[in-house]
């Protein structure tokens, strides 16, 4: 399935969460859902009050941090991988390479 978000909507593939036991063993998928992911699709942008298109700041491939709460109605499984559909304003930061 392929989705094309509309307006200022962004489709983010949520990163898998991992926890580490007290002994240092990685336990994948045992933690709460992470609030980080990668942008996989974007809409064209939002329309301002003067009918001008304001392009999105984020682009496909950006790794982002987003607000912690998203309802299950915004969560979509595509090919078994969890994605979140959100407004660009829900994205708090872009993770940049060091």
Tens-place pLDDT, residues 60-90: 999 999 987 666 668 888 888 889 999 999 9
Q: What is the pLDDT of residue 75?
A: 86
Distance (Å, rounded) from C-alpha 85 to C-alpha 72? 10
Distance (Å, rounded) from C-alpha 47 to C-alpha 24? 49
Entry pTM: 0.79
Query: At residue 95, does pLDDT exceed 90?
Result: yes
Q: How confident is the model at residue 38 (pLDDT cuts 50, 70, 90)?
A: very high
Q: What is the pLDDT of residue 9?
A: 94
Distance (Å, rounded) from C-alpha 6 to C-alpha 46? 9
Query: At residue 42, does pLDDT exceed 90?
Result: yes
């Amino acid at each position: 399935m392929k989705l094309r978000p509309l307006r200022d909507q962004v489709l983010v593939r949520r990163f898998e969460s991992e926890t580490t036991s007290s002994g240092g063993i990685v336990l994948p998928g045992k933690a709460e859902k992470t609030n980080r992911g990668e942008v996989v699709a974007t809409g064209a942008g939002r329309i301002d009050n003067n009918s001008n298109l304001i392009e999105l700041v984020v682009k496909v491939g950006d790794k982002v941090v987003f607000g912690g709460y998203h309802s299950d109605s915004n969560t979509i499984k595509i090919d078994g991988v969890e994605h979140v559909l959100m407004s660009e304003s829900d994205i708090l930061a872009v993770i940049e390479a060091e």
